[in-house]
Structure 1
Amino acid sequence: MRLVFAGTPAAAVPTLRRLATEHDVVGVVTRPDAPLGRKRVLTPSPVAQAAVELGIPVIAAARLDAEATERILALEPELGVIVAYGGLVREPLLSGPREGWINLHFSILPAWRGAAPVQRALIAGDPVLGASVFRLVAELDAGDVFATREIALPESSTADVALATLADDGAALTADVVAAIADGSARAVPQTGEPSFAPKLTLEDGALDWSAPVEVVFARFRGVTPEPGAHTTVGGQRVKILEAAPAADTAQLAPGEISATKTAVLIGTASAPLAVTRVQPAGKGAMNAADWWRGQRDAEGMRAGS
């Protein structure tokens, strides 16, 4: 088929690469270059970089306005495919391609409609994650579903690991749907059940609540790692928690109470402690958590969350 592809982050790249091997991708729509790193160097999106490698023309657009719409429709696509582009597709672009648009979304719809489905699912403690390919409509992530795929992840998987797995599985799922649309066998069914929503995460979403049970604390750690990052305060200073897991065979600590071993810092929750092995104090680089704790002055009596 003659396709136009819209996407921005690394999670969209596997689908672009897969479709480019099987169809005629005539254009790629992505967000404009963004400043990255401490020096704020303008950098093309991962999708833009992949498109250049593949020799596909790029349309950089912060939003799909009249100008972007005209450029996209001039390519005369038969189908639009969108994966985490970061903007809304409205009329007349929505119905411009003969077959409309399909969207790869990283949840089992109607669960977790919105910008951060993987992160919100992990925070909620969902045992199974998944991906859906659905027909794009004006309402957010509400269109009929062509196909879904579930995956069970290791209990230690953080959001970046989960998203990378779903990105690869989702690429194959999307390719199957596009092939079915091409040969006329594709069938989509309405979503059923009560939807839940996954708004974009903020820095505040990364704050760990030590008064909750350890499984709840760890679920939030998984969902906000690496971005926006799990964090707490110790001695009035913010500390980012980079690596952690529920502690095994250790004495219970009061919520927020801190105890150190040779290899980890244990922080108490409402149940078992969380074992923190790597941290990044404010204004410093990443370091071993036990080394960080040994370097604290007046550590006695310090608590997490204060």
Structure 2
Amino acid sequence: MRVLFAGTPGVAVPSLDRLVQDGFEIVAVLTREDAPVGRKRIMTPSPVAARAVELGVPVIRANRIDQGTMDAIRAAAPDVAAIVAYGGLVPETALGIPEHGWINLHFSLLPAWRGAAPVQHAVIHGDDVTGASTFLLEKGLDTGPVYGTLTEALRPEDTSGEVLERLSRSGAVLLSQTLAAVGAGNAAAVAQSGDVSLAPKLSLEDGHIDWRQPALAIRRRINGVTPEPGAWTMLDGQRFKLGPVRPRPETRDVPPGMVRLSGGSSASALVGTGSHALELDKVQPAGKKMMDAADWARGLGQREDVRFE
């Protein structure tokens, strides 16, 4: 089949590679426009665009699918469109351009976590199992009938970035299998059933940690917003970034937000919560690089009033 591939971030690249590897003809790639990256705000192509150029595949750059974009898609004459984290809505007028429609790889077990950040919300809410689904795109938000699914257990230490990395690879296989079945005429899409939950895009504020919450909830939130949008707290009026943490249930005498250096030569930096302490692993003070939390805490000297807000 002739495939239009729509995707933008790095998690979509394994799917593009898999479709090429499995012999699909990628007639064009649809991705978002180049965007400024880094402190110098250098205009940079999306990971999918960069990979498409390496593969010699024509690239359609568009942040929204307007009439000009639809004309470009028609000119590519795809039989089907495969979409993985494109980052924009596909208007109803574009859905019928490919004969077999748009088939979306979504990183959740639909109808759970419809929206832009399914893995992040699954981790934050402490789901035991997540997965991926391929479904036929329709007008509603992630509401279309499902072709196939895969499941994966979530571990307590998993960050959303780690889970997405795994699902991007296993999901690529699922997407390829779905397209092959559609092309062979033996794919059956089944209407979604079960409880619906929504996973809107996370904002910077979603990474702000409330130390009054129980340690389990804080750990899940930190893992869920890692690496994006990132976990943070306030210290001395400045934003202080946080890496993943480890539970220390034996330590319950540290007030919420208070930092304590514990352990002598093999010191660890502990922070209090609404239940028991958490051990900080990596931290990034304002204006500095990410560093070991224990090294940062030792650098505080005799200061005893370190408290996150």
| Number of the residue aligned with 1:299 | 303
Report which stretch shifted further, 3-12 or 260-269.
Answer: 260-269
Task: State the superposition RMSD in angstroms.
Answer: 1.4
| Number of the residue aligned with 1:194 | 195
C-alpha deviation, 1:250, in angstroms: 3.3
Q: Which segments of structure 1 move beyond 6 Å, counting only runs of 4 or more?
A: none
Judge conservation of contact 2:31–2:46 (CA < 8 Å) in 1: yes
Once the two structures are superposed, the pairs formed by residues 225-236 of structure 1 within 5 Å of their partners are: 225-236=226-237
Q: Which runs of 5+ in 2 are unaligned?
A: none
Once the two structures are superposed, the pairs formed by residues 264-303 of structure 1 within 5 Å of their partners are: 264-296=268-300, 299-303=303-307
| Number of the residue aligned with 1:7 | 7
1:97 is paired with a residue whose SS is coil
Amino acid of the residue matched to residue 296 of structure 2?
A: W
How far apart are the structure 1 equivalents of 2:116 and 2:93? Answer: 23
How far apart are the structure 2 equivalents of 1:298 and 1:260? Answer: 11
How far apart are the structure 2 equivalents of 1:73 and 1:263? Answer: 62
Once the two structures are superposed, the pairs formed by residues 238-257 of structure 1 within 5 Å of their partners are: 238-247=239-248, 249-257=250-258
Structure 2 length-normalised TM: 0.95
Judge conservation of contact 1:263–1:289 (CA < 8 Å) in 2: no
C-alpha deviation, 1:248, in angstroms: 5.1
| Number of the residue aligned with 2:46 | 45
| Number of the residue aligned with 1:33 | 34
Judge conservation of contact 1:114–1:200 (CA < 8 Å) in 2: yes
1:239 is paired with a residue whose SS is strand
Post-superposition CA distance 1:2-56 (Å, at most 9, x none): 1101000000011111111221110000011111111111111110111111111
How far apart are the structure 1 equivalents of 2:217 and 2:289? Answer: 27
Judge conservation of contact 1:73–1:93 (CA < 8 Å) in 2: no
Structure 1 length-normalised TM: 0.96
Amino acid of the residue matched to residue 185 of structure 1?
A: N
2:135 is paired with a residue whose SS is strand
1:74 is paired with a residue whose SS is helix
How far apart are the structure 1 equivalents of 2:77 and 2:244? Answer: 48
Once the two structures are superposed, the pairs formed by residues 135-154 of structure 1 within 5 Å of their partners are: 135-154=136-155
Judge conservation of contact 2:146–2:191 (CA < 8 Å) in 1: yes
Judge conservation of contact 2:111–2:193 (CA < 8 Å) in 1: yes
Q: Which runs of 5+ in 1 are unaligned?
A: none
Once the two structures are superposed, the pairs formed by residues 63-82 of structure 1 within 5 Å of their partners are: 63-82=64-83
Judge conservation of contact 1:252–1:271 (CA < 8 Å) in 2: no
Report which stretch shifted further, 261-270 or 214-223.
Answer: 261-270
Judge conservation of contact 1:208–1:232 (CA < 8 Å) in 2: yes
